[in-house]
Amino acid sequence: MQATPASSSTNSQGGTPGRKRNKVKSGCRTCKIRKVKCDETFPVCCRCLSTGRKCDGYGIWGGGTGALSANWHRQPCDVPNNRTATASPTLPYPALVSLAVASSAEQEHFQWFQDRTGIKMQGSFYSDFWSTLLLQASFGEPAIFHAVLSLSSVHKHGVLNSNRGGEDNGIHHKAEQFALHHYVEAIGHLKRHLGGGHSMSSCRIALITCVVFVSLEFLRGHFAAARVHLHNGLKLLRQTYSGPVSSLSAADEWIIEVFNRLAVCSQSPVFSCVKEAWQEIEQLLEDVFLLSRRAQQLQSDNTADHPSATLLAGQQRIREGLEQWLAKFEASTCPTRHPQPSVDPRPWPLVRCYHTMATIMTEVALRPGDEVVYDSHTGRFAHLIEISIELKKASSEWLSAPEHSGPHFDMSRSIIDLGWIPPLFYTATKCRVRRIRLQAIRLLESAPHREGIWDARILVRVARRVMELEENDVCTDDDDPISAFALDSRHREQDLALPTVPESRRIREVVISFSDESERMVTLQVTYSPGRQLEESIIID
């Protein structure tokens, strides 16, 4: 029996008094306003039709009763008599998903998408975008519908062809034609959403269709085309969701989530050259420097006892960037890859040194003034020394030149010239394990060259003086048993277990000033703690 508007109104007011209702994010707008459970049938809600109400659609494509009749240019489908909604004789209610598909081929491909493609695209993690949003949007917007059919065709042909173990030219041509036809149809319907002023509804439709296009191109192996689609989609995403997060609907969150996943998956798994690796690590270093300055400013202002949420988020973002960089680096330098004979392999471990240094700097960035925190990174300092030893063995002639002959690619605009002086000097002044810092100093001594403003001869003297001041002039000469090791030797476990410098003697900051009177004299200023400084002159031999 069909419910009358009056009886429906009584039910919508809550039924049993005091009964708690569960908040549902999905459903048509009409049911949300009435605060009743929506059956989420598409293109229009069966609950609305059965009560004689107008379904206002599901928001994403501006659908519902009115929008569907205006936008969906297809002949009405035959509907079984027992499911026909009498409240809207001109708009058939599709009892099954397949009723929204005009031809048997389209019906078959849409069913394949529901059963196979949508699940495949989700991967290992459940996605509301693929399981709910995309299916809903397909019924109300032709651009999305045709894009889904094209994607389903590509996926279905690929699966069936691999199962057959061979390629049938006739079947392949038919599948290609089907996919291409619906691809073009989707673009044609999408144009009206991209022209003129972009409403929120049009932007959502464009973004959803873009995700389907990106996935389609990935399946076809057209990675360049996929990245073009993704780049344009990310650009539109930033423009669309520039407002406060609180204003986002569940559908908006699903769209953002799927774009984030695609952005991660689309990143190149390897570096094409060492220059590309350096450029990425250079950007990460700049981010670390900025993070450290902000943390120092926060401490000097005494505005908070703990790092702000913004600083913590920035630190985590840099960590993730360093992890992604390392994964690409390891894939780029693995033994199974065969670099071009003309490519110099020596800069690769050098860039790895900078990654290790950047990792340590990131971890200590939010604890300015705490020198003890460096003790927890002894393993990373030791690893940096090991990389430097390998680099020296492979590039002794390259590193021992009297003057730095220039990098193997253009680094003139970099924040630091490519060389091992900065990482080794950082190790010598921040690692308080004597065996490691002394080996860093000796490695610097073995290559007395210059890298921009970094002069190894000056920094060796400075590093030794810092070491003497911190260790109180005890056991600093090379005759000490601890100092008796070969330059290219690896550290022993007992070397790392020795007592380190007390916190009260640790130097926080080292400032080097060059003298205008003599090129052989520099002024060294060290800071132990605020108000506790030491300044002295050093003569360079």
Q: Where residue 263 falls among pLDDT bands split at 50, 70, 90?
A: confident
Among 202, 233, 266, the domain-final residue is: 266
Domain that holds residue 119: 102-266
Q: What tokens does 250 get?
A: 């569940």
Q: Where residue 405 falls among pLDDT bands split at 50, 70, 90?
A: very low
Residue 331 is assigned to a structural domain of this protein:
yes
Averaged pLDDT for residues 247-275: 79
Nearest to 409 by CA among 458, 351, 356: 351
Nearest to 426 by CA among 356, 326, 368, 490: 356
Note the pLDDT of residue 194.
Answer: 78
Shared domain check, 129 and 38? no
194 Cβ contact partners less than 8 Å away, ≥ 6 residues apart: 202, 206
Shared domain check, 128 and 19? no
Which tens digit of pLDDT belongs to each residue from 76-120? 333 333 333 333 332 233 323 334 446 888 888 888 998 888 888
Note the pLDDT of residue 414.
Answer: 33
Q: Helix or strand or coil: residue 535?
A: strand
Residue 531 is assigned to a structural domain of this protein:
no
What's the rounded Cα separation, in Å, for the pair 262 and 441?
45
- Are 523 and 478 spatial neighbours (Cβ–Cβ below 8 Å)? no
What's the rounded Cα separation, in Å, for the pair 347 and 275?
9
Residue 292 is assigned to a structural domain of this protein:
yes
Helices 200-220 and 223-240 pack at an angle, to 10 degrees, of 160
Note the pLDDT of residue 76.
Answer: 34
Give the whole-number percent of the chain exceeding pLDDT 90. Answer: 18
What's the rounded Cα separation, in Å, for the pair 417 and 405?
11
Shared domain check, 303 and 255? no
Give the whole-number percent of the chain exceeding pLDDT 70. Answer: 68
Q: Provide φ and ψ at 494, rounded to 5°.
A: -70, -25
Residue 497 is assigned to a structural domain of this protein:
yes
Shared domain check, 283 and 199? no
What's the rounded Cα separation, in Å, for the pair 117 and 110?
9
Which tens digit of pLDDT belongs to each residue from 151-188? 999 998 888 776 655 556 667 778 889 999 999 999 99
- pLDDT: is 180 or 28 the higher one? 180
Q: What tokens does 279 get?
A: 């450029």
Among 95, 112, 129, the domain-final residue is: 95
Shared domain check, 29 and 58? yes
DSSP single-letter state for residue 333 = S
Shared domain check, 340 and 221? no
Which tens digit of pLDDT belongs to each residue from 482-502? 667 777 777 777 777 766 788
Nearest to 253 by CA among 310, 214, 204: 204
Shared domain check, 163 and 109? yes
DSSP class per residue in 259-278: HHHHHHHHS-SS-SSHHHHH
**Statement: residue 135 has pLDDT above 80:** yes
| Number of neighbouring beta carbons within 10 Å of residue 200 | 14
Residue 458 is assigned to a structural domain of this protein:
yes
Nearest to 350 by CA among 281, 288, 453, 437: 281
Which tens digit of pLDDT belongs to each residue from 409-460? 333 333 344 578 889 999 999 999 888 999 999 998 887 676 767 778 888 8
Rounded to the nearest integer, the mean pLDDT of the chain is 74
Shared domain check, 343 and 196? no
Which tens digit of pLDDT belongs to each residue from 338-384? 444 445 566 788 889 999 999 999 999 999 888 999 999 999 999 99
Among 502, 517, 534, the domain-final residue is: 502
Note the pLDDT of residue 182.
Answer: 93
The H or E element that residue 512 is part of is: strand 509-514
H helix intervals, 165-221: 169-194, 200-220
**Statement: residue 519 has pLDDT above 80:** no
DSSP class per residue in 57-100: --SSS--SHHHHHHH--SPPPP--GGG--TT-TTS---SSGGGG
Note the pLDDT of residue 384.
Answer: 94
Shared domain check, 62 and 13? yes
pTM of the model: 0.51
Note the pLDDT of residue 36.
Answer: 86
Note the pLDDT of residue 330.
Answer: 82
Peptide bond into 43 cis (omega under 30): yes
Note the pLDDT of residue 527.
Answer: 86
Dihedral sign (CA 253, 258, 262, 265)? positive
Which tens digit of pLDDT belongs to each residue from 190-232? 888 877 666 888 889 999 999 999 999 888 878 778 888 888 8
Total domain count, the chain: 3
Ranges 186-200, 259-273, 500-514: which has the least confidence: 259-273
Shared domain check, 119 and 63? no
Residue 80 is assigned to a structural domain of this protein:
yes
- Are 306 and 368 spatial neighbours (Cβ–Cβ below 8 Å)? no
Residue 513 is assigned to a structural domain of this protein:
no
What's the rounded Cα separation, in Å, for the pair 327 and 271?
10
Averaged pLDDT for residues 282-310: 83
Residue 162 is assigned to a structural domain of this protein:
yes
Shared domain check, 139 and 186? yes
Shared domain check, 238 and 319? no
Q: What tokens does 537 get?
A: 């002159």
What's the one-letter identity of residue 223?
A: F
Q: Where residue 244 falls among pLDDT bands split at 50, 70, 90?
A: low
